[in-house]
Amino acid sequence: MPALLALSLLTASGAVLAQTWSRAADASLARQEIYPAVLGDKIYVAGGILSAAPGYTDLFEAYDPGAGRWTRLAPLPEGRHHIALAAAGGKIYGIGGFSGAIPDWRAHASVFVYDPKADRWSTGPALPQPRAEGVVATVGARIYFIGGRVPTRPDAKHISEHADTRRAEALDLQSGRWSRIADAPSARNSAAGAVIDNKIYVVGGRQMVAGANGRSRPVNVATLEVYDPARDRWETRSPLPLAQGGLAAAAHDGKLYVFGGEQFVPQAKVFGESWVYDPASDRWSALPAMPTPRHGHGAAVVGNRIYLMGGGEKVGVAASAAHEALTLPAD
């Protein structure tokens, strides 16, 4: 894979550390609004928004970084976009998400469970309410769902009939039950998250804010909030240097890596900016920008590489099959 961009950092000892972008194998289908998960040494991606009819998909694939190859697996039981994947107990959980092409989105409470040994989906414990565009993370024997958007009416089937939420819940994998945890400090959608030292970091995203004309518009936020499951408490840390919504995040070697996103106001744009956050110093540093700026893409770590797949290269619905990897200094 040819290098696309590199950034060299000089350490105190004089050693040079390189962070290098390279191309990876494009996915078989261009799609955005995907939330991947890693199980073993493979990256799993489910559903997503398509640029053309029907507007979303039930496609489920796994990427093997060692072989550089995508493999199609048993499709989702139902088409979804914004369905969040979490790996736990040797299985993949597909949680919530929307069905429908924009603007006719309907949130779902469904949870699908994939067994990679059988290449088969089954039904898992449903969410207490339909939900999408939140952050999902696994810590120990629990899967957490934080924030996102929920319906404002029982029969909501339009994107405008959903509202941002601070709601946070956890699925106990032993009992198969969801329970409430401390609500997040901020209500937001299209944020990104990752787990570092058994704490969940939630960053960026956007909020629907009423304008002077009474119409709601999506406004990006830069907030970084950290949830400690052991204490059931939230802490607010230093914000992202740039407010980015529809971004992707991943954790590696005790640091949080954040990539891309989009903005609707004050002007529409897609971000290529990338950042790394060090919890020890509570500081952000710039990374080499993404070679292909995108939003609604997925991020996943295997080894010392962070893979960014799919997303949209233009604001709104504009699905991409792009797949790039940032190689980090080996431990």
- How is residue 213 written in tokens? 């004309």
At 50, the pLDDT band (50, 70, 90 cuts) reads very high
How confident is the model over 194-219, as pLDDT tens digits? 999 999 999 999 999 987 777 888 99
Q: What is the mean pLDDT of residues 66-84?
A: 97
Mean pLDDT of the chain: 93
Query: Strands 84-88 and 91-95, how do they pair?
Result: antiparallel
- How is residue 172 written in tokens? 């106990």
Q: State residue 12's pLDDT score.
A: 34
Residue 215 is which amino acid? R
Q: State residue 292's pLDDT score.
A: 97
State the Cα–Cα distance between residues 292 and 273, nearest whole angstrom.
Answer: 10
Distances in whole angstroms, Cα of residue 218 to Cα of each of 163, 190, 243, 244, 262: 11, 10, 12, 11, 10
Q: State residue 331's pLDDT score.
A: 63
State the Cα–Cα distance between residues 197 and 55, nearest whole angstrom.
Answer: 38
Q: What is the mean pLDDT of residues 274-286?
A: 98
Domain ranges, ordered by start, for the chain: 21-327
Question: What is the fold of 21-327?
Answer: Neuraminidase (2.120.10)
State the Cα–Cα distance between residues 70 and 68, nearest whole angstrom.
Answer: 7
Q: What is the mean pLDDT of residues 62-77?
A: 97
Q: Which residue has the higher pLDDT, 191 or 213?
A: 191
Q: What is the mean pLDDT of residues 11-25?
A: 65
Q: State residue 123's pLDDT score.
A: 98
Residue 278 contacts residue 252 (beta carbons within 8 Å): no
Does the pLDDT at position 156 exceed 90? Answer: yes
Percent of the chain topping pLDDT 90: 88
Cis previous bond, 103, omega within 30 = yes
- How is residue 327 written in tokens? 């190689």
Residue 219 is which amino acid? V
State the Cα–Cα distance between residues 309 and 45, nearest whole angstrom.
Answer: 9
Q: State residue 4's pLDDT score.
A: 43
State the Cα–Cα distance between residues 97 and 135, nearest whole angstrom.
Answer: 11
Name which of 2-6, 68-72, 88-92, 160-164 the model is least confident about.
Answer: 2-6
